[in-house]
Amino acid sequence: MMIIGCDFHPRFQQISFLSEETGECGQRRLMHTAEAEQYYRSLLGTRVRVGIEATGSYGWFRRLLSELGHELLVGDATQIRASNPRRQKTDKRDAEHILGLLAQDRFPAIWQPPAENEQLRQLLLHRSRLVRLRTRVTNQLDGMAKNEGLLVPGGWSGKRRKGIEALPLPGWYGERRKDLLGLLDRLEERIAPLNKAVSQAAAENAEACLLMTHPGVGPVVSLAYVLTIGNWQRFPRGKQVGSYLGLIPAEDSSSDKRRLGHISKQGNTLLRWLLVEAAATAQRYDPSWHRQYLRLSMTKHHGVAKVAIAHKLAVRLYWMLRSGEDYQHVRERGSHARQSECPGGRFERPIE
């Protein structure tokens, strides 16, 4: 087998390779994408394992290795760096270090989403970006309305739009309104088919349909949760899900002092944002959640309250997947009723 430690960059990659059959080893610098593709195609027919640090801009590389039948492992960049105490850092040293971890079977590989779900993940991401852009446009229009003394309670609506269109705005102020309304119409046209595609994909996914029985969880949140969490058996406990999504506080404790900070945000940004949005609706249907939401809103901040409920929502959705039961049954018997029955062993850590 050929083992390759790869220090991946957007324009090139520095590799350190070792052939277990012949003992041949060496280093090469491969420019993207033609030279790198030629090199890996030359290894066709040989069992190859490639290790890289978690990074971006490697989608084409992953597809290439998958096409050729080569194995790609993505490692936790923080753990890889922590395992190398030397203060001299170069591309060659990094590639050698990754190769050493692979050869010693100490490479901290993380979980990778299945390639067949990539299209759905891109669909959710694309829709999210357009929805946020639409929100920025409507916020600008709301700001113009307030500046002219037009105060309509509630969120964006057809009534509010008619009121903004009726405002007598001269010159470039009116031209700005016209452009923003035109941009809003075009965004609505593009978002509508995306919403339809997400609803169809969620309806075809049994786990997403199960999660949609929870109040506040629609096709977008349920599908994003299923695609991000993947196999729920990776997590022995619900609290590991909160940690995986970055919904637990950062901590810097020592001795008798415990210091907690903001949430770690070490997880999928899109799903975390969607859970916080869904939490505002979900808390209305659960009395205990609603009481906690009101208490935190009054004593701390409504943002803190939303994040706290989002954490609870993430854990409850995990237990719905784990038990295979809908919202009503999970709520009646409690999320943690069978917590001791750990599928992966009592003290097993989640597979990253």
Residue in this structure with the two tokens 């975390």, named with its chain if needed:
272
Residue 320 placed within a domain = yes
Mean per-residue pLDDT over the chain, rounded? 89
Tens of pLDDT, residue by residue over 35-64, are 999 999 999 889 999 999 998 889 899 999
Please report the pLDDT score of residue 340 as a whole number: 42
- Are residues 328 and 226 both part of a single domain? yes
Considering only CA atoms, which of 146, 96, 316 is closest in space to residue 215? 316
Mean pLDDT, rounded, for 324-329: 88
Q: Above 70 in pLDDT, residue 339?
A: no
Would the pLDDT of 347 be above 90? no
Structure tokens at 51: 């290790």
Do residues 293 and 190 both lie within one domain? no
**pLDDT, position 350:** 46
Give the pTM.
Answer: 0.85
- What's the pLDDT score for residue 251? 83
Cα dihedral angle (231, 236, 241, 246), rounded to 10 degrees? -120
| Cα–Cα distance measured from residue 65 to residue 98, given in angstroms and rounded to the nearest whole number | 18
Does residue 340 lie in a domain region? no
Instruction: Give the pLDDT confidence of 92-146 residue by residue, as tens digits.
Output: 999 999 999 999 999 999 998 888 889 999 999 999 999 999 999 999 999 888 8
Do residue 170 and residue 271 come from a single domain?
A: no
- Are 11 and 104 within one domain? yes
Q: Say if residue 69 is in the same domain as residue 144.
A: no
In this prediction, residue 265 carries a pLDDT of 87
Question: How many structural domains comprise the chain?
Answer: 3
Residue 156: per-residue pLDDT = 80
Question: Same structural domain for residues 23 and 106?
Answer: yes
Model confidence at 349: pLDDT above 70: no
From 110, 136, 166, give the residue that closes a domain: 110
Kindly report the number of other CB atoms within 10 A of residue 291's CB atom.
11
pLDDT of residue 263: 86
Q: Tokens 């012949």 label which residue?
A: 22
At 203 the pLDDT is 95
Q: Per the domain annotation, does 343 fall within a domain?
A: no
Q: Clarify whether residues 88 and 132 are in a common domain.
A: no
Are residues 195 and 244 both part of a single domain? no
Query: Could you list the residue range(s) of the whole structural domain that residue 163 is in?
Result: 116-204
Q: Parallel, antiparallel, or unpaired for β 25-31 and 249-251?
A: unpaired
pLDDT at residue number 248: 87
Is the residue at 145 inside a domain?
yes
Final residue belonging to a domain, choices 168, 183, 204:
204
Task: Quick: pLDDT tens for 139-173.
Answer: 999 988 888 888 877 778 888 888 888 888 888 98
Residue 342 lies in a domain: no
338 in any annotated domain: no
Q: Is the pLDDT of residue 342 over 70?
A: no
Q: Which residues contact 42 (CB under 8 A, 6 or more apart)?
A: none
Residue 295 lies in a domain: yes
Residue 33 lies in a domain: yes
CATH number at residue 30: 3.30.420
Same-domain status, 196 and 211 = no
Do residues 55 and 161 share a domain?
no
Mean pLDDT calculated for residue range 75-92: 90
* Pick from 37, 35, 2, 40: nearest CA to 20: 2
**Residue range 321-338: average pLDDT?**
78
Q: What letters, b where the CB count within 10 A reaches 16 and e where it falls short, cover 243-260?
A: bbbbbbeeeeeeeeeeee
Average pLDDT rounded to a whole number, residues 238-265: 88
Do residue 140 and residue 69 come from a single domain? no
Q: How do residues 218-242 score in pLDDT, each as one tens digit?
A: 999 999 999 999 999 999 988 899 9
Which residue among 66, 86, 110 closes a domain? 110
pLDDT bucket at 335, cuts 50 / 70 / 90: low
Residue 250 shares a structural domain with residue 305: yes
pLDDT reported for residue 159: 84
pLDDT recorded at residue 169: 86
| Residue 348 pLDDT | 41
How are strands ordered across the β-sheet holding 12-19? Answer: 25-31, 12-19, 2-8, 48-53, 71-75
